[in-house]
Amino acid sequence: MASVQKSNPGNYFEDFHVGMEIIHATPQTLTEGDIALYRAMTGNRFAQYSSSEFAKAAGFPGLCIDPVHAFHVVFGKSVPDISLNAVANLGYADGRFFLPVMPGDTLSTVSEVIGVKENSNGKTGVVWVRTTGFNQRGETVMSFVRWVMVNKYEMDNPAPEPVVPDLPEAVPAAELVGYPDMKAWDMALAGGPYTFDDYAIGEKINHVDGMTVEEAEHQIATRLYQNTAKVHFDAHGQKDSRFGKRLIYGGVVISIARSLAFNGLANAGQMLAINAGTHASPLFAGDTIYAWSEVLDKAELSDTCGALRLRLVAVKDQDPGAFAYKDDAGKYAAGVLLDFDYWAAIPKR
């Protein structure tokens, strides 16, 4: 018998209009179980996300969900509506973390379309959305902009009036919130002796360690966030794709690179804002991630706490001490996976 198509076809470029609000499905309650799994999948060791005692002593309400973990969850919700027919994730900007996410909190996600621009080929267009994560009290937990290249449904459909949002190059330091009073910060327990004062603008930090990612690992992590993009899970379907195999969710790279950054940035574990982010090249199972960071800026937040603006660069299968980044033409060097610009809280001396 003939049947109505009941599976989700996703949205095409023509479906997006500036001002459109999309309520994303499957709100998700995050628990101590998610914290344990996030640690096991990423190697997260930052003390405020490892020990409830440390967290409380450092002024947090208890053991929180790492903001990067919460980001993946909020992002994951938006995938079926925003990027099911995406050709590419082009970037992130203006990401702000407002409130801690505690075990037991439920996150839900809403996106607003803030820009559309058809590409000159007439086959695809760029869509900008501001995605916001709420907790069960309706409080805004985080907010970020991302933009994706999406297929058009029909090449002949007319192009919309282009709207390109004006995005800040970085979140202003004066607008950072949610950092604790760090006067009781225990550096021996946190695992590193370096404070705000020890980092210099322009300094590069080699995070040394490497982590190889297996198919099982990225699939488990990506399902933990309820990100369902089929390119990450369907080996059979990917055989005829451009790469011939599963692609690893970019969030897996962000989280592992952040965990590797413990080795050199142990006191800077709390992400306060995402200024920009680009997935420069794909990661596949069997590849090994390494990372290095550059201090882009510094800002005093309080008497006890400062912020480092950091560029986190993930590379694959190469010494991160080579600090590979871009070539003279501004193109990413071979093996660069991720270029991620963020603010992190760090104690002052």
How far is Cα 54 from Cα 65, in angstroms, rounded to an integer? 14
Q: Whose CA is closest to 41, among 225, 192, 278?
A: 225
The CA distance from 304 to 317, in Å, is: 38
Stretch near a second copy under the rule CB under 8 A, chosen from 149-157, 166-174, 217-225, 274-282: 217-225
User: Is residue 234 close enough to count as binding a second copy by CB under 8 A?
Assistant: yes
The alpha carbon dihedral of 258, 330, 129, 337 has a sign of negative
Tell me the closest approach of the beta carbon of residue 302 to a second copy, in angstroms. 23
Q: Which helix (H) or strand (E) holds 146?
A: strand 140-151
In the bound complex, what is the minimum distance in angstroms from residue 90's beta carbon to a second copy? Answer: 24
User: 193 with 344: CB under 8 angstroms?
Assistant: no
Identify the CA nearest to 98 among candidates 307, 271, 298.
271
Nearest distance from residue 204's CB to a second copy, in Å?
Answer: 6
Helices (H), the chain: 32-42, 52-57, 67-82, 187-190, 215-224, 235-238, 250-260, 262-265
Per-residue DSSP letter, 334: T
* Per CB under 8 A, 233 contacts a second copy: yes
23 counts as binding a second copy under rule CB under 8 A: yes
Q: Identify whether the C-beta of residue 48 lies closer than 8 Å to the C-beta of residue 62.
A: no
The answer to whether 140 contacts a second copy (rule: CB under 8 A) is: no
State which of residues 104, 162, 172, 244 lies at the interface with a second copy (CB under 8 A): 104
Least separation, in Å, of the C-beta of 135 and a second copy?
9
Q: Answer yes or no whether residue 98 interacts with a second copy by CB under 8 A.
A: no
Q: Which of residues 147-206 bind a second copy (CB under 8 A)?
A: 188-192, 194, 198, 200, 202-206
Closest distance of CB 158 from a second copy, Å: 28
Q: In angstroms, give the least distance from the CB of 233 to a second copy.
A: 5
* Of the residues 67, 80, 115, 133, which one makes contact with a second copy according to CB under 8 A: 80
Burial of residue 291, with CB atoms counted within 10 A of its CB: 0-12 exposed, 13-18 middle, 19 or more buried: buried
Place of tokens 């994303």: 24
Stretch that binds a second copy, among 12-20, 120-128, 221-229, 298-306 (CB under 8 A): 221-229
- The site for a second copy, by CB under 8 A, has a size of 87
CB of 4 to a second copy, least distance (A): 7
276-335: which residues touch a second copy (CB under 8 A)? 286-288, 290, 317-318
Applying CB under 8 A, among 15, 18, 20, 39 the residue interacting with a second copy is 39
